[in-house]
Amino acid sequence: MNHDSMQHFSAGLSTLVLAYVVSVIGSLIGLACMARARAEPVRRAKVRWTVLGAISIGGVAIWLMHFIAMLGFDVPGAAIKYSAPLTALSAVVAIGVVGLGLSLVTLVRFTRTRLLVAGALAGLGVAGMHYLGMSAIRFKGELSYDTTLVVLSCVIAVVAATAAFWFTLVVKTTAARFAAGLIMGVAVTGMHYTGMAAVRVDVDPLVVAPSGTTVFDLVFPVFVTSALVVAVLLWMLFTADDEALGEPA
């Protein structure tokens, strides 16, 4: 029995807003780390800020946003479980691919070509994380996808991620960096909801009941861990600012 995805993805306005806000916060912190990495003269410091930027963008702006948005996914009459290992792997993929993209604009000389490659890697990291995270879903049936919407979701992610990087690297004002965070949030949430529109649900009552973890069993550890990560990232950013202000001219 095949169903359109929108019958099962009942994300309310509050879930959408929360997911977008979380994505913007993670993007702003990550882009600030990215700017810090480019400003650092010491390579070790550049690497450290690049890693922190990847964790913020890949782990918070992308993965946590996806997790929040998936709270609205439901298949009526079917219990949904998640593969915890695949869910965790999707976070690793997001952080790793985004980190690779960031390194092309923070650890080497900036060029337009590297910016385009970095945007493509970050955008595909968003998409890869999304579809890997979707593969973690377990229920009595299977998911399929509309190819056109899948491609569109990837294009949205790549274009918006590239634009966000450009804003951060080329335009140096605070307002521009804030705009970059908003754009990156659009990249993540726009890609996610376009990807969800591509989903087709095929329920099969004869399939054996799935094993795995319910999404609500994952909520507490995920949010506690994410809150700690954000707190540490903010502390490091503010501490770095204080140290810079305290240095002699």
> Comparing 22 with 168, which gets the higher pLDDT?
22
What pLDDT digit, counting tens, does each position of 197-207 carry? 888 888 877 77
> Would you tell me how many other CB atoms lie within 10 Å of the CB of residue 204?
12
Phi first, then psi: what are they for 212, rounded to 5°? 145, -160
Rounded Cα gap, residues 128 and 161, in angstroms: 14
Task: Identify the weakest region by mean pLDDT among 156-160, 169-173, 191-195.
Answer: 169-173
Residue 106 has pLDDT above 60, yes or no: yes
> Comparing 203 with 48, which gets the higher pLDDT?
48
Residue 22 has pLDDT above 50, yes or no: yes
60 contacts 26 by C-beta, under 8 angstroms: yes
Rounded Cα gap, residues 178 and 175, in angstroms: 5
Q: What is the pTM of this model?
A: 0.82
Tokens read off for 191: 């890609």
Tokens read off for 186: 């659009």
pLDDT of 171 reads 66
210 contacts 140 by C-beta, under 8 angstroms: yes
Q: How far is CA 240 from CA 31, 50, 247, in A?
A: 15, 14, 11
Residue 13 has pLDDT above 60, yes or no: yes
* Polymer length in residues for the chain: 249
Place of tokens 């929360």: 18
Q: Read off the pLDDT band of 186 (50, 70, 90).
A: confident
> Could you tell me whether strands 199-203 and 2-4 are parallel, antiparallel, or unpaired per DSSP bridges?
antiparallel
Residue 73 has pLDDT above 90, yes or no: no
Q: Which whole number is the average pLDDT over 138-156?
A: 89
Q: Read off the pLDDT band of 12 (50, 70, 90).
A: low
pLDDT of 241 reads 56
* CB neighbour class for 213 (10 Å; exposed up to 12, middle 13-18, buried from 19): middle
* CB neighbour class for 161 (10 Å; exposed up to 12, middle 13-18, buried from 19): buried
pLDDT of 71 reads 78
Q: How far is CA 109 from CA 105, 112, 169, 188, 190, in A?
A: 7, 10, 12, 27, 30
Q: How far is CA 221 from CA 19, 206, 242, in A?
A: 17, 33, 31
Phi first, then psi: what are they for 141, rounded to 5°? 160, -160
